[in-house]
Chain A
C-alpha cells in the first residue's frame, strides 16, 4: 500500500488486535468502541474551534476585533466559556417535567453526533460506511426535532412552547427541500453510500459545479435546518427570548449550544461530501493523505460562508420563512429531481451531458429568481399602496 495512505494505521492496529488472539466478536466490539471515542473527541474538540471562529468572523465583519485576551488571538476563549457554563447554577423550573427536561439536551447532541459516523474524511476514512448513508443523515436529523419538542414542552413556559412549535414547524418544512436536494447527487452517483458519492465526483466532476441549483438549494435548506440567520427566529432575543431553550441554564444550555455548532460543522461537511467533491482533488491518488487536507479546506470554506451569512443578513419572519420553504424551495427541488432523473438516462457523452446539465440548472435558477422577483415586487407595491391608503384616510 502507498506509504502515505492513512489506512496503514488501521491495518497495523487490526493486525496487532488479531495477534492478541481475542475472539472475533470482541475485536469488532473494541474496534467500534475505539472509532466511537475518536469520533466523539473529534466532534467535541472541533466545536471549541468553531465557536471561536464564529465570534471572530462576526467581529471582523462588524469591524471590531473579537475575543483576543484569553490566550493567543483569543483561542482559549471557548474553554473559558465552557468552564463558566459548567460552574453556573443549574436552575430547574419548579413545574417542569423532570425526565424530558433533562433528556432533551442530551438527545439533541446525540442526534447530531450520530451524523459524524457517515462522513468520509479521506479515502477509506469513514467510521461506518453504510449502504444507506444519505438516508441515515436525514433520519438522524429528524431525531433532533423530537428533542426540541421535548425541550419546549417540559419547560412549562408559554414562550418555550411557542418557540418549540415554531422550531419544529421550520425544521420539518425545510427537511423536504433538503431531502430533494440530496437526492440529486444520489441519482447521479447511483448509490447512497457516502464513499461512493465522493468517488463519483472524481476528475473535477464535482456535483456542485455541474448542478449549482441543487447546491444552492441544499445550502439554503441546511441554513434553515441549523436554525441560523436568516432563519433563526426561534432563538432571537428580540423576538421570542431564546425560544425553546429559555429555561435552560448552565451545562444544559451548553449542550444545546454544542448541538448548534456541531450541526454547523456537520452540515458543512455533508455539503462538502455531496456537492464539493469531498476529499477529491489533484494528486489524491498518489498521495491519499492529501484527501484529508482537501476535505478540511473545503469544509472550512463552507463553515466560513455559514458564519459570514449569519453576520450579514437580517432575519426572516416566521410566515415568510414557511412561505419560502413551501412555495419556492419545494417546487424548485421537485423540478431539479425531475431534471436529474431525465438527464441521468440521456444517451449523451459525459462532458456534453454535464454542460447541458449546467445550462439547464442556470435556466431553472433564472426562472425561479424571475418569478420570485416579480412576486416580491408586486407584494412591495401592494404594501406601499396600502400604507398610502391608510395614511391618507
Chain B
C-alpha cells in the first residue's frame, strides 16, 4: 500500500517534469526539468531495488549528459534570447494523431504483451553478478562498447583541438 503511494508520487513527478521539458518555452528551464526527470527515473530504480542502476543513472545522466546538454545550450548563440513557442500551425492535427497513436500503444502494451511476473526476491549480490556477466557472458559487447567510446573520444579531441599547423 505504502509502496503504491510512493510509486504514484514518484511517477507523477517524473511525468510532470517530462511534460515540462517538452512544453516549456525557455530552453534552459527545459534542461533543468530534464534533470528532474532523470532523478525521477533514478527513484523508480530504487523502488525496484536496483540501487546500482539508480546511482549509475544519477552519475551518468545527471553528472555527464545533463551537464553536456546545458553546456551546449549555453554555448549556442541566440538560443536564450528569444522565447520560442513550442507549437506551430499543425498543432491540432498533430495532437489528435498523437492521442490516437498513444491510446493504441497503451492498449497494446497493457493488454497484449506477456509481462513476466517474478515472485522471487532480488538476490543480494547483484553487483557481483553484474560484474561477472560483463566480463563473462557479455564480454564482446563490453569490449566493443569501449572501442566505440575510444573512437568517440579521439574524434572529439580531433575536432576540438587547436589548429596550430
Which A residues are closer than 8 A to B by beta carbons?
Answer: 25, 97, 99-100, 103, 130-132, 135-136, 138-143, 145-146, 149-150, 153, 161, 165, 168, 172, 192
A149 touches B71 (CB 8 A): yes
Instruction: Please classify the interface of chain A as helix (H, G, I), strand (E, B), loop, or mixed, using the class held by over half of its residues.
Output: helix
How far is B62's CA from A271's CA once the two chains are assembled, in angstroms?
24
B116-136 vs A: 1/0 string, CB under 8 Å? 000000001011000000000
Instruction: Report whether B67 and A135 are in contact in the complex, using a CB–CB cutoff of 8 Å.
Output: no
Mark out the residues of chain B between 54 and 109 whose CB falls within 8 Å of any chain A CB in the assembled complex: 55-56, 58-59, 62-64, 66-67, 70-71, 74
Extra A-B contacts (18), CB below 8 Å, given A132-B55, A135-B55, A165-B74? A97-B29, A99-B29, A135-B56, A136-B55, A138-B59, A139-B55, A139-B59, A139-B63, A140-B58, A141-B63, A142-B59, A143-B62, A145-B67, A150-B70, A161-B74, A172-B64, A172-B67, A192-B127
B62 touches A142 (CB 8 A): yes
Does B28 interact with chain A (Cβ within 8 Å)? yes
23 inter-chain pairs at a CB distance below 8 angstroms, sorted by A residue, are A97-B26, A97-B29, A99-B32, A100-B32, A130-B51, A131-B126, A132-B51, A132-B127, A138-B59, A139-B58, A139-B59, A139-B63, A140-B58, A142-B59, A142-B63, A145-B63, A146-B62, A146-B66, A149-B71, A168-B67, A168-B71, A172-B64, A192-B127
Q: A25-B2, A100-B32, A149-B70 are in contact. Are A132 and B52 (CB under 8 A)?
A: yes
Q: What distance in Å separates the Cβ of B10 from its nearest Cβ neighbour in chain A? A: 16
Asked whether A153 and B70 contact (CB < 8 A) given A132-B55, A138-B59, A139-B58, the answer is yes
Query: For the complex, is B35 an interface residue (Cβ under 8 Å from A)?
Result: yes
Name A143's closest neighbour in chain B (CB-CB). B62
SS of B interface (majority): helix
User: 7 closest Cβ contacts across the A-B interface?
Assistant: A142-B63, A139-B59, A139-B58, A25-B2, A139-B55, A135-B55, A132-B52
Give the residues in chain A near B64, CB-CB below 8 Å: 142, 172
Contact between A143 and B58, CB atoms less than 8 A apart: yes
Residues of chain A contacted by B59 (CB below 8 angstroms)? 135, 138-139, 142
Residues in B with CB closer than 8 Å to A139 are: 55-56, 58-59, 62-63
Q: Which residues of A contact B124 (CB under 8 A)?
A: 131
B35 to A, closest residue via Cβ: A146
Question: Are the CB atoms of A97 and B28 closer together than 8 Å?
Answer: yes
Q: Which residues of B are found within 8 Å of A103, using beta-carbon distances?
A: 32
Which residues of A sit under 8 angstroms from B32, Cβ to Cβ? 99-100, 103, 150
Q: Is the pair B67, A146 in contact by a Cβ cutoff of 8 Å?
A: yes
CA distance A141 to B59 in the complex (A): 9
A165–B71 alpha-carbon span in the complex (Å): 8
